Chains A and B, each alone.
Chain A
Amino acid sequence: MLPGYAATLGALGALVAACGDPAVADLPSAAPTKERARVVVAQREGKLRDFPCSQCHDKVVSAQGVGRSRAPHSDVVVEHFDGGTRCGLCHDVRAMNRLRLFSDDRIGFDESHRLCGQCHSEKVKDWSFGAHGKHVGSWRDTRYRLTCADCHNPHRPAVPQSRALPGPTFPPRGIPKGGHR
């Protein structure tokens, strides 16, 4: 965990409680690490399979001039943003290691929640104080708050159905649902 990238949200909780309107509290994603790191936003860049995107994109750009070929990313299905499929909506097409906000700010993948929060502000507000999203680590010491893309595929964010594991045994003499008349 690089201390420069570790964004604490412990102070945010106090801020939210103090001002009473969490929406106005901007996410201190780039804030310096506080002395007692209680909640740490989990990092994304280390988890990405091919992360420094520049390993290919520099070469592709130089070889093909524009680098618009989708072939290496043929597994990416975009079902998000009402059918929008332009990579440049979220990715910075000039420097692929970065993401691009609507405000034309460039951010790293570790701050991707800011990108999601441009549309899903309610969800990011819930996430910012812990009501949405998963935490791992220790409830007492440092806990890591997983970001949006840890659970949702950003290109296809709807979580698919899964098969339920076996439930309790139905009582041998039980009456099934709807059996009462």
Chain B
Amino acid sequence: MTRRSVKLKLPVVGGRDRNAERVEACTRAGLERPMDRRGFLSGLATTGVAAAGAATGCGETDWDGFFQKHYKEMSEKDKHDVFARIERRSSQAYGREVRIEDPPAEEGVLFAFCISLSVCNGNRACVHACVQENNQNREPAMQYIKVIELDRGTMNLERGDPYYEGEVPRPGKVYLPMQCNQCDNPPCTKVCPVEATWKEPDGIVVIDYDWCIGCRYCMAACPYEARRFNFASPSVPAADINPNQGYLSNRMRKKGVVEKCHFCLHRTRKGHYPACLEACPTGARKFGNLHDPSSEVAQIIKNKRVFVLKEELNTVPRVYYYFD
């Protein structure tokens, strides 16, 4: 085995300084291809070309997208422009007219899920409803919900099998669907170096896909393996695209960003149920507002013995499991 020698590049004191030429070449190369935030950061930031924006004559480059503000700093007009641009670009890219919106979080609402493990039969209808609703990548398949098959009477997730197939429910097994727990104390948002993910007032942890740099710190921080990374540009057939899209939820993602379950916020903030609940043939999933004492979730937490996953980590999850 040979050891690679690393030579540090020291600043040139005497002689000819070639840094200016390198900077110019890199800038030129960068401007000749379409650029996004992530590409810029990985390719050019190391050379210190912060002034790339000063260059002109770049027809392909999406400067509006490049200089887009953080979502929380956008004014209403900014949002309107950004949504219009995303609609335009995603209908160019995927050949389907889409509508982007972003319903705001409602006052006095805290979303929660309750899942009855006695009833869930593990047939993954929720998984595929979620894939269709949220325009997830079909090839390679990405699924937010992971259903784990456990031996009845055990609760050791390490011994669970998410890859089961065939006729379900199998005797002696219990099925535990896992998705983003929308923790009240989320570890994933704390590690994000650019604040591309945060917790909304109604309890949903969201991601701004335009702000994400794809460092995947949040995936490492999440104790529930709830986050998914786009290793490739999502491929969704135009006929299967759900055109009702939310900026923070199911709009078309791109290569190199992280995504995850968001309790279908483009549906639930308008009063609908999430897609996984509507698809569930067994009625194992309950969704509602924890602040409303008459909601099913509040009643279940009051009357049933519920548990959460990895309680000892103090993440305060919002997905409760129970047996009935």
Which chain A residues have a beta carbon within 8 Å of chain B's beta carbons? 10, 13-14, 16-17, 22, 38-39, 123, 126, 129-141, 146, 151, 159, 161-170, 177
Residues of A within 8 A of B164 (CB): 164, 167
Give the complex CA separation of A125 and B121 in angstroms.
22
- Min CB gap A123→B, angstroms: 8
Distance between Cα atoms of A157 and B163 in the complex (Å): 29
In the complex, are the beta carbons of B125 and A132 less than 8 A apart? no
Establish whether residues B296 and A132, one from each chain, have CB atoms under 8 Å apart when the complex forms: no
Chain A proximity of B136: nearest CB distance (Å)? 12
Residues on B facing A (Cβ under 8 Å): 114, 116, 119, 121-125, 127-128, 140-141, 143, 146-147, 161-169, 268, 271-273, 278, 280-283, 286-289, 293-296, 299-300, 302-304, 322, 324
Residues A167 and B162 in contact, CB atoms below 8 Å apart:
yes
Residues of A within 8 A of B303 (CB): 16, 22, 129, 131
In the assembled complex, 20 residue pairs joining A and B whose CB atoms fall closer than 8 Å, in A order, are A13-B293, A38-B294, A123-B324, A126-B324, A129-B296, A130-B300, A131-B299, A131-B304, A132-B116, A132-B119, A136-B278, A138-B273, A139-B288, A164-B124, A164-B168, A167-B162, A167-B165, A168-B162, A169-B141, A170-B163
**A13 engages B283 (CB within 8 Å):** no
Q: With A126-B324, A130-B299 as known contacts, state yes or no: A161 contacts B286, CB within 8 Å.
A: no
Query: Bound complex: CA of A16 vs CA of B303, how far in Å?
Result: 9
8 interchain residue pairs of minimum CB distance: A134-B283, A130-B296, A140-B271, A165-B124, A129-B299, A138-B271, A161-B167, A164-B168
B324 touches A161 (CB 8 A): no
Q: Name A163's contact: one of B114, B166, B295 (CB within 8 Å).
A: B166
* CB–CB A167/B300 < 8 A: no
A165 touches B128 (CB 8 A): yes
Highest count of chain A CB atoms <10 Å: which of B125, B273, B283, B295:
B283
Q: Which residues of A contact B166 (CB under 8 A)?
A: 163-164
B283–A151 touching, CB < 8 Å: yes
- Collect the chain B residues with CB atoms within 8 Å of residue A164's CB: 122-124, 164-168
A residues within 8 A CB of B114? 131
Q: Contacts A163-B167, A164-B168, A167-B127 given: A16-B299 contact, CB under 8 Å?
A: yes
| Closest residue on chain B to residue A11 by CB atoms | B294
The answer to whether A132 touches B294, judged by C-beta atoms less than 8 angstroms apart, is no
Question: Which residue on chain A has the smallest CB distance to residue B109?
Answer: A140
Residues of B within 8 A of A162 (CB): 121, 123, 167-168, 281
Give the chain B neighbours of A136 by CB distance below 8 A. 273, 278
| Distance to closest chain A CB from B188 (angstroms) | 20
Q: B271 touching A169 by the CB < 8 A rule?
A: no
Best-surrounded residue of A13, A14, A139, A141 (most CB of chain B within 10 A): A139
Flag if A165 contacts B271 (CB, 8 Å): no
Contact B168 A140 (CB under 8 A): no
